[in-house]
Each structure stands twice: as C-alpha cells, then as structure tokens.
Amino acid sequence: MEVDNKMYSVGLLIVATLLVAKLISALIMPRSNKRLPPVVPSWPLIGGLLRFINGPILMLREEYPKLGSVFTLNIFHKKITFLVGHEVSAHFFKASESDLSQQEVYQFNVPTFGPGVVFDVDYTVRQEQFRFFTEALRVNKLKGYVDQMVTEAEDYFSKWGDSGEVDLKYELEHLIILTASRCLLGREVRDKLFDDVSALFHDLDNGMLPISVLLPYLPIPAHRRRDQARKKLAQIFSHIINSRKQSGKSENDMLQCFIDSKYKDGRPTSESEVTGLLIAALFAGQHTSSITSTWTGAYLLSHKQFLSAAVDEQRELLKKHGNKVDHDILSEMDVLYRSIKEALRLHPPLIMLLRSSHSDFTVQTREGKQYDIPKGHIVATSPAFANRLPHVFKDPDSYDPERFAVGREEDKVAGPFSYISFGGGRHGCLGEPFAYLQIKAIWSHLLRNFEFELISPFPEIDWNAMVVGVKGKVMVRYKRRELSVN
C-alpha cells in the first residue's frame, strides 16, 4: 500500500512538472507572428498518412471546400503544404532551386535513372544535363523525329486487318514504346534489341512502386529486378555507344545527341550518364504519351461532334497537302491539338508535383488571405485537381476542346499556371512538344484511315498507379477506310 502511494505521488509530481514547464515555456517563449495555413485534421503520430495513401485527390476534394486553397497535412514529422490553384502557385513554379528544390523529394528516382544524373547531381550539373535535353528537342531535331514517328505509325497499323476489335490502350502503349525506341534509344535498339530492351524497361517500370517513394532501396523482389535490369541496360548501351564511336557513324536520335553533348568545362558525357539520361527521357515521355493518346481516343469516340471536327480538319489538310505528313503539317492540326490538350487537362498522368522548401515564403489566396509557408515544409500542387477548378474552367468535368479555342482560351484568361498538365515555369516539361507531335502523328493516321466505335464502357481512372492512367481495357471496333476529300 505504501509503495502504491509513493508511485502515485511520483506520477503526480511528473505530471505537475510537465504542466509547469509547458506553462513557463508558453510565457517566456516569443509568440510566432507567422500566419500558418490551416491543418488537415489527422491522427496523432502518423498524421494524415492513411488519408494520403488512400488517395491525395480524394483528400483534396474533401478539404479544399473547408480549408481553402492553402493547407498543411502532417505525416509523421513531415509537413506537406498544398497550394491549390494559380493564385497561390506562382512561387511554386517560379522559385529558384535554392528556395524550392526538386532534388530531395525525387530522390526515389535515383536507383532507376542511375548514379550521376538528374536527381543524383547538384543543381548546376542538373541544369547542364537539362540543356542536353533541350538541344536534343530543338525544332530541327524534332523534324527528323516526326518522320520516324509517321513511319512507325504507318508500319504498325498496316498490320491491322480491314476490320476487327482491339484494345486501344494495349495497341497505343506498344506503338508508343516502338516510336520512343526509334527516336530516343536509337536504330540499334529498334532494329535488333527491341524485345530485350523493352523487357528490361518493363522491369524498371515495375520497380517503381508507392513503397519505393519512401524506401527506394528496400530489398524486395521488384527492386532486385529493377537493379538487375538497370545493370543490363547499362551494358547494352555501353556496347552501342562504343560501336558508334568506333564506326564514326552519326544517327538522328536522342542517344546521339547525348553522346555528342559536352559540359561547359569541355568534359564529354560518360557512358553511364548517357544511359541514365536516356532512361530518364523514356520514363518522362512513354507514360505521358501512351496514357494521353488513349484518353484522347476514348473522349473523341464518345463525343461525335468533336470527332467530326477532328476528321474534317484531316480532310482539309489532305486537300491542301495530299497524303504528306511532316512536322509543319502536324503543327497545323489545331483541332487535334485542342482535343489532346483537353484530354490531358482532365487526366494529367502526374497528379502531384512536389518541392522541398529551403526558405520561408508567403502566398495570398484569391480571397485576400495571406499565409506564411515555413522553411522545411514539403510544398505540393496537383495538376489533376487544379485543372478542374470551376472558377477557372467552365463545366470543368466535361470534355470540351473548344475551351482552348481563340476567343475562349480558358487556360490563359484566368492567369498564368491555370493549366499545369506539363508543369510550368522554371521546371516546365521539356518534352511537351515531342509528346504532342507523337500523339498527333498517331491520331492523324488513325483518323485518315479508320472508322472507330467504342464498344466497352468509357474507361475509369487507375488511381493505384504511380503514373495515373487508364484502368482496364478500352475496346474499340474498327473498319479500314480511306478518308475522302470530297
């Protein structure tokens, strides 16, 4: 009994000491003048982890009406502050790397891309490597790539019969990887090593799981296959690079651009860097193009008025140019461009963009509220949510390519960073022109040579994928026909 009383007294003393310490701390510590964003209600310790894992878009839909365009989610010791809408996103897209950094939040890509490239190097080196991408995607290079895109599309669809039923998603995924292999990875891969390289990229792709974001080096089977595939790809490209250098031959592809690239100090790219940059390029482009080309088809086949407009545009171009399709003719396809852009507005493959804040900054909402975002927060914005804000886009959940036509231009009227499917500002996607040309090359061929009918239900969104795409099959019935110009 005496022991119990002593234990009770000690417990009371500890509690009293903690309360006094907290009171003294509150009295003597200066109060923060920061206007912090509201916080999403969450569980102790784990914070909003479960809500985030269950779907960040669902969480945004629930919290945006209650908390507004700026709010913070606590996950363990991390604080993720969301900036929703163009009014509060300017700093996210325009800030320097020293203020808002990509490197820390995208470290999980390093095992896939490899050492010494992109997020495994400091900002100055990464900027030079991005310059290599820019040079590989200049207009004079793109014109050569378009010829290869058109050839790949013609060859691929020539194997279809006069009529039949296909899974459009499957067909476009395969054509995109063939096209990317030719334009990016090179003739050697496309002609001789496509099956091997495609299988290795498949293992790389499957090695990027949700758990990989938190624990990229966790020793699980998918990560082991990823690492083995990365090693074999390095060996393949090392052999190709050496063969090209020894033969003195030069090809019109991104591989050649990276081989020929040099840093400002005159140092040439290494074999390891060339391999890593190619993998990064393919990862950046393959998913976006295959997903967006599939959504474009599904929406056009479900909206006859927009499909008719896209077909009429092809008819006019056939009258003007005949059967020729090149870079300049693809650039004339405004109706098709808007059709693709609208599909991409509704379904951006990257639903969340992240940065790490290295300094405090302030944002102001459209209602005039100001919030101070502290150094150390992870800062996030969501193309998938921002692209459907009703005060920016009229009937935001409806498919309406004409919202981008001259006179409406809803993506520009509201202000910069209203449409962020390809990011924007300092870190805008370098491959955007390549992606549009690739999808246009495919769909211009399909519209000119086939009639289609969507025979499966309109597809759902696959929220469980790392890169959010189309769930299940997209079955279409096709019939071969040559588009009449009369």
User: Would you state the pLDDT for residue 126?
Assistant: 93
172: tokens are 């476009």
* Residue 319 vs residues 150, 247, 324, 484: alpha-carbon distances, Å: 19, 44, 11, 9
Neighbours of 39 (CB within 10 A): 15
71-74 long-range contacts (CB < 8 A, ≥24 apart) are 71/37, 71/38, 71/39, 71/40, 72/36, 72/37, 72/38, 72/39, 72/40, 72/377, 73/39, 73/40, 73/42, 73/47, 73/48, 74/39, 74/40, 74/42, 74/47, 74/48
Which residue positions form the known binding site? Answer: 429
170: tokens are 């499957």
Examine the pLDDT at 68 and tell me if it is beyond 80: yes
| 168 closest CA partner among 446, 461, 407 | 446
Superfamily of domain 33-480: Cytochrome P450 (1.10.630.10)
Q: How far apart are CA 416 and CA 194, in angstroms?
A: 41
The band of 13, judged by pLDDT with boundaries at 50, 70 and 90, is very low
Residue 459 DSSP symbol: P
User: Would you state the pLDDT for residue 45?
Assistant: 63
User: Would you state the pLDDT for residue 224?
Assistant: 96
User: Residue 385: is it exposed, middle or buried by C-beta count within 10 angstroms (0-12/13-18/19+)?
Assistant: buried
| Helix/strand/coil (H/E/C) assignment for every residue in 292-343 | HHHHHHHHHHHCHHHHHHHHHHHHHHHHHHCCCCCHHHHHCCHHHHHHHHHH
User: Would you state the pLDDT for residue 430?
Assistant: 84
Q: How far apart are CA 167 and CA 380, in angstroms?
A: 35
Provide the residue type at 244 as one letter.
R
Over its C-alpha atoms, the chain yields an Rg (Å, rounded) of 26
Three-state SS at 357: strand
1-16 as b/e: b if 16+ CB within 10 A: eeeeeeeeeeeeeeee
Q: To which residue do tokens 């912090």 refer?
A: 36
pTM of the model: 0.88
pLDDT in tens, 166-216: 999 999 999 998 998 899 888 899 888 888 888 898 898 888 877 787 789
CB 168 within 8 A of CB 297: yes
User: Would you state the pLDDT for residue 24?
Assistant: 46
- Mean of pLDDT over the chain: 89
The band of 27, judged by pLDDT with boundaries at 50, 70 and 90, is very low
Q: DSSP H helical segments within 79-206, as ranges?
A: 86-94, 110-113, 123-136, 139-157, 168-180, 187-188, 194-206
Backbone angles phi, psi at 101, to 5 degrees: -110, 140
Q: What is the mean pLDDT of residues 38-44?
A: 82
**Residue ranges covered by each domain of the chain:** 33-480
Examine the pLDDT at 277 and tell me if it is beyond 60: yes
Which residue positions form the known binding site for heme? Answer: 429
Q: What is the mean pLDDT of residues 117-126?
A: 92
User: Would you state the pLDDT for residue 47?
Assistant: 60
Rounded to a whole number, what is the largest CA-CA distance in the chain? 104
More confident residue, 2 or 378: 378
71: tokens are 């709010």
Provide the residue type at 395 as one letter.
D
Neighbours of 225 (CB within 10 A): 16
Dihedral, CA atoms, 250, 256, 257, 259, nearest 10 degrees? -110
CB neighbours of 54 closer than 8 A, spacing ≥ 6? none
pLDDT in tens, 123-178: 999 999 999 999 999 999 999 999 999 999 999 999 999 999 999 999 999 999 89
Strand partners, 454: 476
